[in-house]
Amino acid sequence: MSVAVSSKLNKTVRERYLKLPQEGRVQVTYVWIDGTGEGLRCKTRTLEYEPKTVQDIPEWNYDGSSTFQSEGSNSDMFLIPCRMFRDPFILDPNKLVLCEVLKYNRKPAESNLRQRCKEAMDKAISSHPWFGLEQEYTLLGIDGHPYGWPPNGFPGPQGPYYCGVGADKTFGRDIVEAHYKACLYAGVKISGSNAEVMPSQWEFQVGPCEGIEMGDHLWMARYILHRTCEDFGVVATFDPKPITGNWNGAGCHANFSTEAMRKEGGLQHIEEAIDKLSKRHQYHICVYDPKGGKDNSRRLTGLHETSSIHDFSAGIANRGASIRIPREVGQDGCGYFEDRRPAANCDPYAVTDVLVRTCILNETGNELNCCTQ
């Protein structure tokens, strides 16, 4: 892999061009998920006006044969704008727009799980499902080695790094702070960040978001992270177990509630949902990473604050369980629960979709390899 040349360009010179007037024309960067179901792509065009809502942004297209999405002979894919954000990189009035991908026949691409998710959210609308996702990730140097780790060997064992402070305990905080500010500017509903248990591992939270909004905001937060990392010459990976051995993996804990769970007496509704989840463990595991549980099997070992991929468990304040009820929720008797199983590289549309289908729409079925959406 070549070195991160863009990060070494003079960013002070770049500032000068950012200040040039645009004469009323607006750059819109279309962002979409590629055929891997994990990778993000983008391209930019000029509009002659400033779009006020996503409806003002026209459809576009791209070459799907270059994104693992189609054959070269029939390669045009449609980009359907879904949610508009401010562009924190080239600033107002420029926009970022998260898009759905449709095939030549206008059916969703295999990697487009948003339409199916939206159907579930529409059916469950009166329950007002809220989500908060905790996105963990690991920073890597351009050589693929964890950022800031000694070139030969390992940093000291885990213990001092979680929520750590100090140059010997944190690796890459500039990126975390820049990403947080960029999300606030963009209008992404970021709600927090912290250093994680493994050195060079971090987390940000997005939420609470209602319904389809959750997937849209998390995908854009991921785009902004990758783009921020470009500026610093560092790479963010969502691999659920980037370093084997005695190092924590990376998850995407899904916090979930319905209106009934948030009200007085809600704990009973939380327990009912957990009972439904217990009967569908295998199915959820299939959906909780892009490879049907294969990626997550490296992470969900039962060690390092995880539950075993083979067992379902739930408990108050238990970080070794599949489902954790936060202590204050147990005390208040209402609130939300946390599904700790999703891998860091999950598709949030798939995760929020299946939570709603199992817990609200009462879908059942737990057959193996069922996640062939």
Give the tokens for residue 339: 């599904």
Q: Classify residue 305 by its DSSP letter.
A: S
Q: Choose between 69 and 205: whose C-beta lies nearer to ligand ADP.
A: 205
When binding is defined by CB under 6 A, the residue of 95, 179, 253, 281 that contacts ligand ADP is 253
Report CA dihedral (258, 259, 265, 266) to the nearest 10 degrees.
20
The answer to whether 352 contacts ligand ADP (rule: CB under 6 A) is no
By C-beta, is 201 or 257 nearer to ligand ADP?
257
Q: Does 207 bind ligand ADP (CB under 6 A)?
A: yes
Q: 6: burial class by Cβ within 10 Å (0-12, 13-18, 19+)?
A: exposed
Interacting stretch for ligand ADP, rule CB under 6 A, among 49-57, 131-139, 218-226, 282-290? 131-139
Q: 208 vs 242, which CB is nearer to ligand ADP?
A: 208
* Of residues 237 and 255, the one with the C-beta less far from ligand ADP: 255
| Most distant CA atoms of the chain, gap in Å | 60
Count of residues that interact with ligand ADP, criterion CB under 6 A: 17
262 binds ligand ADP, rule: CB under 6 A = yes
How far is residue 233's CA from residue 219's CA, in Å, rounded to a whole number?
A: 21
Q: What is the DSSP string of 97-166?
A: EEEEEE-TTSSBPTT--HHHHHHHHHHTGGG--EEEEEEEEEEE-TTSSBTTS-SSS-PSPSSS-TT--S
- Residue range at the interface with ligand ADP (CB under 6 A); choices 33-41, 201-209, 307-315, 357-365: 201-209
Closest CA to 188 of 336, 88, 82: 88
80/198 with CB nearer ligand ADP: 198
The verdict on 256 binding ligand ADP (CB under 6 A) reads yes
Q: How far is the CB of 260 from Mn ion (least distance, A)?
A: 22
Backbone angles phi, psi at 272, to 5 degrees: -65, -40
Does 248 sit near ligand ADP (CB under 6 A)?
no
Residue 338 CB, nearest approach to Mn ion (Å) = 5
Residue 34's beta-bridge partner residues?
none
Query: Tokens 């487009």 map to which residue?
Result: 112
Report what 207 binds from Mn ion, ligand ADP, none; CB cut-off 5-8 Å by kind.
ligand ADP
List of residues contacting ligand ADP (CB under 6 A): 130-132, 134, 191-192, 205, 207-208, 253, 255-257, 262, 335-336, 338
